[in-house]
Structure 1
């Protein structure tokens, strides 16, 4: 597997992963822009409306027919959050040229169709189609509202919003319902033009073609972007100290099981040398089925239905997520912190450390076997301005010592506790 990163224009980069491992190829184009409360919903809506139709294929039916002609290819809107960067655009999956009939080329027409969707949208009166905008806006609002239906995910969204309320990271990737409600076709068109002019553009390919051919295939997109202007630079989120006393937030909904979410400041992120040690600590603490949270808080003490921890790779934040009985929340919180203290004092066995190491390394290396995970990994690295591959990060995790793991654990400080309880 060969990874090539090429700067095509200032603020426009191509990441080409050349491999013969897959029968399909992945193409993606993403606008990277600072995450903000004001723009998040409009940015999220742009690719959804673009996907509705183009000048040549003015509706979803004709656009789907064009994709069907490319061996049943797919092209889906993409809205993600990497640190304090919002990433919007498209990811497409197409048959790799190596498997096409009679040597037929799929890469070039697929990239051309992607350029058409991105740069030649169906318009009415010099802006996006009002009907398409209204329909997709309603869909976006439904998605924002539906987040509360997954209470585990909702608790994590809420603890981040409370913990990082004065930071861009506290903004949801889809924005807010209130801001989404205010969008009309003209305002959305203006936001689309702003993205074309100012957003950093990250192109991605994974398949058997060589980088030079991929670069040529993406030329219609690169040449179609507005000239001049300064595109967004890499944004590294500022680190913030936890408050002297953790924030505590409670919310009541119609739930039969409490959701306890705890946010910690880590003092490290993907840019830092100690990040591999932090990934190992996370695995020892709550990131695997052999972790302290799983084996002790869940299995041994039965204080939680589930208990796990996870790192925000591009932000100095770790979240602990657990499902608890309402009357056991105090015990659960105390034991979750007790298990962290054990990590901070080196109270874990060599076996625990090696089980965690094997889990982290295995997860990183299996990224190489899944195109969707590869695309997401390299999107994050592009947003951060980093070039380290998952195999290289795995090699660094292999070298982490016990002392380095303990030092990383000692930097973890509780910032915010969020508890979702029942109405009664």
Structure 2
């Protein structure tokens, strides 16, 4: 597997992963913009409306027919949050050229169709189609509303919003319903022009083609991207937790409480000691051999589930748990007790090695799945980092017990969110 990274023009980058491991190839184009409450909804809606049609293929039916001609390929709109950067665009999957019937080339026409979506959208009166805009606004509002249906995910969204209020990281990647409702075809078009002219662009390819051919295939896209200076990458600022943790309660029609706890880590993906923090997370709550799983869930039965996770592009760790309403105090106390054990170095050599094996395995198996690999390299690109999964795994292998304890001692409780049932 060979990974090549090159700047095709100012602010437009290509990550090309050459491998013969997969029968499909992946193409991607993402606009990277600062995450703000003012632009999040417009940016999130943009790829959804772009995907509805182009000047040449003005509706979903004709676009689908064009994809069918490419061995049933796909091009899907994507909206992601990487730290305090909003990433919007497309990811496509196509049959790799090595497996076509008559050695037909799929890469070039697939890249051309991607370029068409971005550079020649279907418009009316110099703006996006009103019907497409209205329909996709309704779909986006439905997605925002649906977030509350998954109560575990909803609790995580809410604790981040409360913990990072006033910070870009606290903004939802989809924006707010009020902001979506205010969008018009004209304001959406103007927002898209801002993306086209100012946002950093990350192009991606994974397949058997060599990097030079991939670069040539993306040339049609380069011709539709305006030349000029594009926004640089900004590292999110770190913040200290308040002396007294914030506490937020919300009541909904739920039969099981959701306790979400946000911690400041004083560490993120840019820091040299981030691999040590990855091991802290794995020992504490990131695996099925972790302290939260084995003690809070299994041994004490205080939670239906209890786990921790890092926001690697931000100095935040979240603990997520499902609890009985009357056990929330006990559960919170025991969750913190297990953290104190990590900070005191009260974990066995076996616990450390189980955590290490889990983190290393997760990193290395990233290379086995194209979707995970694409998402990994987008995260790295959004952070301005170039370290591959194997190199990161090697750094995790080298972390010492003392480094793990030191990283754990930087964790501080910032916000506690509890979703309870209505009286």
Which band: TM-score by shorter chain?
Answer: over 0.9
Match of 1:126 in 2: 126
**Separation in 1, partners of 2:224, 2:133:** 23
Match of 1:178 in 2: 178
Are 1:5 and 2:5 counterparts?
yes
**Separation in 2, partners of 1:251, 1:102:** 60
Are 1:195 and 2:183 counterparts?
no
Match of 2:389 in 1: 390
**Separation in 2, partners of 1:289, 1:235:** 35
SS at match of 1:101: coil
Q: What is the CA distance between 1:166 and its match in structure 2? A: 1.1
Q: Deviations over 1:84-107 (max 9, x none)?
A: 000000000000000011111000
SS at match of 2:363: helix
Q: Note the 1:10-409 alignment, pairs <5 A.
A: 10-228=10-228, 230-409=229-408
**Separation in 2, partners of 1:391, 1:286:** 23
Q: What is the CA distance between 1:232 and its match in structure 2? A: 1.2
Q: What is the CA distance between 1:223 and its match in structure 2? A: 1.6
Q: What is the CA distance between 1:202 and its match in structure 2? A: 0.2
**Separation in 2, partners of 1:303, 1:372:** 35
Q: What is the CA distance between 1:12 and its match in structure 2? A: 0.4
Q: Deviations over 1:31-68 (max 9, x none)?
A: 00000000000000000000000001000000000000
Q: Deviations over 1:269-325 (max 9, x none)?
A: 000011000000100000000000000000000000000000000000000000000
**Separation in 2, partners of 1:226, 1:11:** 11
SS at match of 2:102: helix
**Separation in 2, partners of 1:73, 1:145:** 30
**Separation in 1, partners of 2:272, 2:117:** 40
Q: Where does structure 2 lack aligned partners over 5 or more consecutive residues?
A: none
**Separation in 2, partners of 1:225, 1:293:** 49
Q: What is the CA distance between 1:251 and its match in structure 2? A: 0.3
Whether the aligned pair in 1 keeps the contact of 2:239 and 2:264 (CA below 8 Å) is yes
**Separation in 1, partners of 2:298, 2:189:** 53
**Separation in 2, partners of 1:235, 1:215:** 26
Match of 1:411 in 2: 410
**Separation in 1, partners of 2:332, 2:231:** 41
SS at match of 1:71: coil
SS at match of 1:359: helix
Whether the aligned pair in 1 keeps the contact of 2:16 and 2:205 (CA below 8 Å) is yes
**Separation in 2, partners of 1:267, 1:237:** 12
Q: What is the CA distance between 1:342 and its match in structure 2? A: 0.3
Normalising by structure 2, we get a TM-score of: 1.00
| Structural RMSD (CA) | 0.4
Whether the aligned pair in 1 keeps the contact of 2:264 and 2:411 (CA below 8 Å) is yes
Name the count of aligned residue pairs: 423
Q: Deviations over 1:358-390 (max 9, x none)?
A: 000000000000000000000000000000001
SS at match of 1:102: coil
**Separation in 2, partners of 1:119, 1:45:** 16
SS at match of 1:33: strand
Q: Deviations over 1:324-354 (max 9, x none)?
A: 0000000000000000000000000000000
Q: Deviations over 1:203-243 (max 9, x none)?
A: 00000000000000001111211122x21111110000000
**Separation in 1, partners of 2:394, 2:174:** 35
Normalising by structure 1, we get a TM-score of: 0.99
